[in-house]
Structure formats: structure tokens, C-alpha cells
Structure 1
Amino acid sequence: MHPRLRGCAEMGPFNQGGKMDSGAHEGCGPVQGLSPDDHVFVSKRVYLGQPVVRVHLDDDGDWQAFSAIEPRWFGRPRLIHAAHLLERDPSLASLPALPLGHLATRDEASGTTWQIFQG
């Protein structure tokens, strides 16, 4: 992973005062953390209960969540509140804040170690 991307992702969704930090960070542009109030486009398989292992924050600021077994959209995406995903899988709370246009992946469905890639 590129060191600047790692440093950006390690900042996490909160600033030193404990408030959501969606400002710009050096070398990575706007950073956004997943909030329970956010809407997330999920694949059909995630909607039907498959675990989330890949999350993308696109250039427009839209969240997308995928299971492990789908390389691309399969069927029509569904739009749900992030709170429903977090309720079903509390380990998603470990998702680091992402810069726009970046992707986070993890090896295990309940894993808390995410790798960040520019998408």
C-alpha cells in the first residue's frame, strides 16, 4: 500500500476532539467515515445476508458494499441505511475513514483489518 494512502486511512473517522472529521488531509483529499445515518448501495448478495468484505466510497461520496463472491454488480443494487449493515455485522465499525474514490477490503467477513486501495 502506498504510504500516503495508509497514513490517510489510519487517521480514522474522528479528529482529536472526537468529532467526525470529513475535511481534507494532506495528500488524500476529502475523507469520510461510514455513519449509521449514511445510505449504502449494497449488492443483491449483501442485501440477502452475505457478509460485506469490500466497501467503496466513490468519487461522488456514495458508499457501496459487496460480498466476497461478486467481482462486479450482480443484479440491481439496493439502497439501505448503514445502521442495518452495522447491526447485522458490528465489525463493520472498524472500517477506516476513506478518501473519495477509494476501496477498503478485508480477508474475513468479521475481520477488523482493512486494506485501502485507490479505486
Structure 2
Amino acid sequence: MEPLAKVFGGRLRALRKASGMTQEELGRAAAIDYKHISGLERGANVPSFEAIERLAKALKVDYYELFLPARIDVGREEQVVRVLVRELERQASPGTLRFVATVLGAIRTHEADRKGAAIS
């Protein structure tokens, strides 16, 4: 298992890049020195709870998102989805299941529309 500081750092880097921010811009937005941001992204520095709060706010994400793996291993996506579906079927209310089915249908429609636009 990868050390938590590395997981955090990789996720921080991915979220920062996805937001289009440099380390300096994130540092200014979170009131954290950009050199410390660099250390966090490498897993060399460990953030305080206060720093986590400021980073999440600056990146406009929930705190827990900073601890998610940067990516799911290729080939495991389907396995992860199956586990989630089983958990939903076991614990979710009928309304939640209908909501999830609607969201999945919308995603499929969007993907089909996107593929159709790329072919045109």
C-alpha cells in the first residue's frame, strides 16, 4: 500500500492541475508557501488539518477528495462499479436506486452523443 502522504500528494497535484492552477497560485489561494505545496505534492511534507481545510477550499473540493487515489488502476473500473452497485442494492432506498439509474442513463446518453459528434 502506498504511504498516505504520497496518496495525498498525488491527489493534490491532480486536483491542482485539473483546476488549472500553478503551485504558486494554489499557495496564494490557500495562504500556504508554494515550496510547501511542492513538498506536499511529493509526499515529503505532511499537511496539518488547517492546511487541508485551506487547500480543499482553494481547490473547491470536499476535504475527503484530497485523500482519494489519483486514479483507479486500469481494468479495475468495472470491478469498482460492480462493488458499488452491490452496496447500493443492499443498502439504498428505492428512490436512491432510481436516482442512480437516471444518472447512469444520462451518462450513457452523454457518452453516445459525444461519440456521435466525434464521428460527424
Larger relative helix fraction: 2
Larger relative contact order, structure 1 or 2 (CA cutoff 8 Å, min sep 6) = 1
Larger radius of gyration: 2
Task: Give your verdict on TM over 0.5.
Answer: no
TM-score by length of 2: 0.22
